[in-house]
Amino acid sequence: MRKLLALVTLVLMAASPAAAQSLDDVIRDVEASYSRLNDLKADFSQSAFNKSLNQTIQADGTLYLKKGGKLRWEYRAPTQQEIVSDGKTLWVYTPSLNQVNTSPAPEALSGPAGSFLTGLGKLREHFDVRFLNPAQPRDGAGLWVLDLRPKQPLPTLSRLVLSVDPKDFKARKAVVYDRFENTVTMTFTKVVANTGLPDTLFAFVPPKGAATVPFK
């Protein structure tokens, strides 16, 4: 569950036509972008580093998000898996096991730590924000790089480093740190926002014959 909540925090796409120059400008434009965002779809690639095991696992897939804690993560590799929530119930389906794990949707899914559709729309309210490198606020690709520290840290989110495109204010990369110094790094492509994703996309019906096991 800790790993799942860390992944959920990575919903980071938005858009704004303004050309920000200062930290305050960047914050203002990111907030404006996310406050207008109702839903999105994007491809993602993921690199999860477990410090205690000194192990990195690569993954990729497609994600769907909608306000209200609704989400759908479809993993293609390294193994197929679906993580779905309608904001009330969470389902994790692993086809290779023919098993569905269920639980009430974690409260974090609808709050700033779990849904950046909410959290980044009120950036200053939920995070202490600075440039990662104030002397050089853009990286080699020209992206603004923000260092975000949640004002109320969770085990799953103690820090977020967010790289933002200065042209459209879509986040291209995010690195989430938890309190155990594990990291999840994600990049996002093929972002489509505010297309009116249907609520049915975030409802899950277990396949016939699949075992349903509650999370403990």
Q: Please report the DSSP string for 18-29 in residue order.
A: ----SHHHHHHH
Average of per-residue pLDDT values in the chain: 84
- Over residues 163-215, the pLDDT tens digits come to 988 877 778 898 999 889 899 999 999 988 899 999 999 999 999 999 999 98
Q: How confident is the model at residue 154 (pLDDT cuts 50, 70, 90)?
A: confident
Cα angle for residues 133, 178, 50 (degrees, 5° grid): 105
C-alpha closest to that of 177 among 186, 187, 188, 165: 186
Q: Read off the tokens for 134.
A: 């104030």
C-alpha closest to that of 58 among 77, 43, 41: 77
Q: Cα–Cα distance between 94 and 78 in angstroms, integer?
A: 12
Q: Which CATH class is domain 2-214?
A: mainly beta
Q: Cα–Cα distance between 162 and 64 in angstroms, integer?
A: 19
Residues sharing a CB contact under 8 Å with residue 54, sequence separation 6 or more, in sequence order: none
- Over residues 114-139, the pLDDT tens digits come to 455 556 778 888 899 999 999 999 99
* pTM confidence score: 0.80
Cα angle for residues 152, 11, 16 (degrees, 5° grid): 100
* In the chain, where the domains are located: 2-214
